Amino acid sequence: MYTPDEDENEQAPEDREEQAEGMPEVDEMGRPGGAKTQSKPAPIIINK
pTM of the model: 0.12
Per-residue confidence (pLDDT) for residue 38, from 0 to 100: 52
Rounded to a whole number of angstroms, the distance between the first and last alpha carbons of the chain is 20
Per-residue confidence (pLDDT) for residue 35, from 0 to 100: 47
**Pairwise CA distance, residues 46 & 3, whole Å:** 16
One digit per residue, the tens of pLDDT, for the chain of length 48 reads 555 555 555 555 555 555 555 455 555 555 555 444 555 555 655 555
